[in-house]
Amino acid sequence: MIELLLEMVREEGASLILVTHNMKHAAKTDVSYRLQLGRLQPVKHDG
Protein backbone atom coordinates (compact mmCIF):
# COMPACT_ATOMS: atom_id res chain seq x y z
CA MET A 1 0.00 0.00 0.00
CA ILE A 2 2.83 2.41 0.83
CA GLU A 3 4.28 1.90 -2.64
CA LEU A 4 1.01 3.00 -4.25
CA LEU A 5 0.79 6.08 -2.03
CA LEU A 6 4.38 7.13 -2.77
CA GLU A 7 3.89 6.50 -6.50
CA MET A 8 0.81 8.74 -6.55
CA VAL A 9 2.65 11.50 -4.68
CA ARG A 10 5.56 11.39 -7.13
CA GLU A 11 3.29 11.34 -10.18
CA GLU A 12 1.37 14.36 -8.92
CA GLY A 13 4.49 16.24 -7.86
CA ALA A 14 2.96 16.54 -4.42
CA SER A 15 4.44 16.51 -0.93
CA LEU A 16 3.59 13.99 1.75
CA ILE A 17 4.15 14.09 5.47
CA LEU A 18 4.30 10.48 6.59
CA VAL A 19 4.53 9.77 10.31
CA THR A 20 5.54 6.18 10.98
CA HIS A 21 7.45 3.91 13.30
CA ASN A 22 8.16 1.60 10.35
CA MET A 23 11.73 2.28 9.19
CA LYS A 24 11.19 0.16 6.05
CA HIS A 25 8.45 2.58 4.96
CA ALA A 26 10.57 5.60 5.89
CA ALA A 27 13.47 4.25 3.82
CA LYS A 28 11.28 4.35 0.69
CA THR A 29 10.87 8.12 0.91
CA ASP A 30 13.11 10.73 -0.71
CA VAL A 31 13.78 12.58 2.56
CA SER A 32 13.12 11.56 6.13
CA TYR A 33 13.75 12.85 9.62
CA ARG A 34 13.75 11.27 13.06
CA LEU A 35 12.43 13.10 16.10
CA GLN A 36 15.20 12.78 18.67
CA LEU A 37 15.30 14.64 21.97
CA GLY A 38 12.65 17.06 20.73
CA ARG A 39 14.51 17.92 17.51
CA LEU A 40 14.19 16.71 13.94
CA GLN A 41 17.35 14.95 12.77
CA PRO A 42 17.90 14.00 9.11
CA VAL A 43 18.08 10.27 8.42
CA LYS A 44 20.41 8.90 5.74
CA HIS A 45 19.16 5.74 4.04
CA ASP A 46 21.32 3.17 2.34
CA GLY A 47 20.95 3.17 -1.41
Is 70 exceeded by the pLDDT of residue 47? no
Number of structural domains found in the chain: 1
pLDDT digits (tens, 9 = 90+) for 17-46: 999 999 999 999 999 999 999 999 999 877
User: Which range marks the domain in which residue 31 is found?
Assistant: 2-43
Largest CA distance in the chain: 34
CA distance 24 to 26: 5
> What's the mean pLDDT in 1-21?
95
| pLDDT of the residue at 46 | 75
